[in-house]
Amino acid sequence: MEQAKSKTLKIITTNTNFIGRVATTIRNILVPTKIGMNSFLISMKRRAYIKADKILEKVKEVPSKSQREEAERKYNIAYEEYLEAIDKYIMDSIYAKVRTDRATKIEKKALADYYKINTNKSEQYEEYKNKKQLFLLSLDYKVLKASGKKIDEKYEELYALKETKIYRNLLKNYSVRLADNRLISNEKKNGIYMEIFRSLAEYVKEILPLEMKHSKVNKYGKIQGEIDKYNSYLGKLDEKDNLERTIILLNLSRTLFTHSLPMPVIEECFRKIIKRYKNTFNEYYKWKKRKSILND
């Protein structure tokens, strides 16, 4: 009897191990296939989106209102389908790669950021909508760049323009929320100001260089010196460097986001910096004054 049980147990264990190995093998085959299919779908939808944008640009000067509206409708559909393809890539491919421990650092971070953005959906839908678009567009661009493939110039230009537009909408949303004193606590206000600083720094680092690269006119000539100075701060910064860099960032925002960040919001941002770096701020201005006297 015991011998029969032992044989049965051995067969079950062997079968379980075999099924486990088969499941792993199938998973290892399906994951790359799924990734390949999703990558192909994204490429297809990206091309359709670029094409729809080109058509939209052409018909902007066309007298026919119905023709313009139709081109805009097709552009919106192409853009939505492109974003949905990237979203599907995250849910299918990246999630599968994280589960099977095949994900890169970029992919692991992407999945974590994706879930973080989605937690804000019910509370602040406009912020969620803008952040999710920024995230999806940025992910596709970074994955494409990491692949080593040549990036299409038109796509890169369109990416920079679209991201800039979304950042403007996001910052405008923050400004509107800050203006409504009845619905927002001081704690939440402070959180929004931190998001403004984060968004500005992110934009200047990731998108502004691409915007400048593809700009048809030299609209950044007046602030080129400040941009170069901002980018000169590298590595681990002390308090004085952080303060100076943040001041430069806010000065840049007055040109880059004139209509998204009203002057009262920028002034309040300056006050937040003064409060945060009070001692450093006093030392900073003493240093600036001494430097000015020496240069005279």
Report the range of poorest mean pLDDT among 35-49, 116-130, 260-274: 35-49
Task: Pick the closest to residue 82 from 153, 149, 9, 141 (CA basis).
Answer: 141
Rounded to 5 degrees, what are φ and ψ at 167? -60, -40
Using the predicted structure, report yes or no on whether residue 182 has a pLDDT greater than 80.
no
Banded model confidence at residue 188, pLDDT cuts 50, 70, 90: confident
Using the predicted structure, report yes or no on whether residue 22 has a pLDDT greater than 60.
no
Residue 121 · residue 85 · CB < 8 Å:
no
Radius of gyration of the chain (CA): 26
Distance CA 23, CA 144 (A): 31
- Chain segment 218-271, per-residue pLDDT in tens: 788 889 999 999 999 877 778 788 888 999 999 999 999 999 999 999 999 999
Sorted by where each begins, the domain ranges of the chain are 1-119, 126-135+155-296
> What is the average pLDDT score of the chain?
83
Task: Pick the closest to residue 102 from 38, 150, 30 (CA basis).
Answer: 30
Using the predicted structure, report yes or no on whether residue 296 has a pLDDT greater than 60.
no
Q: Which two structure tokens, joined as six digits, stand for 178?
A: 């800050």
Residue 239 · residue 280 · CB < 8 Å:
yes
What pLDDT shows up at residue 19? Answer: 43
Give CA separation, 42 vs 51, 122, 144, 242, 248, in Å: 14, 27, 11, 39, 38
Q: Which two structure tokens, joined as six digits, stand for 253?
A: 């925002």
- Chain segment 61-113, per-residue pLDDT in tens: 887 889 999 999 999 999 999 999 999 888 888 888 888 888 888 888 888 99
Using the predicted structure, report yes or no on whether residue 272 has a pLDDT greater than 50.
yes
Type of residue at 289: K
Using the predicted structure, report yes or no on whether residue 126 has a pLDDT greater than 60.
yes
Banded model confidence at residue 20, pLDDT cuts 50, 70, 90: very low
Specify the pTM.
0.80
Using the predicted structure, report yes or no on whether residue 54 has a pLDDT greater than 50.
yes
What dihedral angle (degrees, nearest 10) is formed by the CA atoms of 168, 173, 175, 177? Answer: -170
What pLDDT shows up at residue 287? Answer: 62
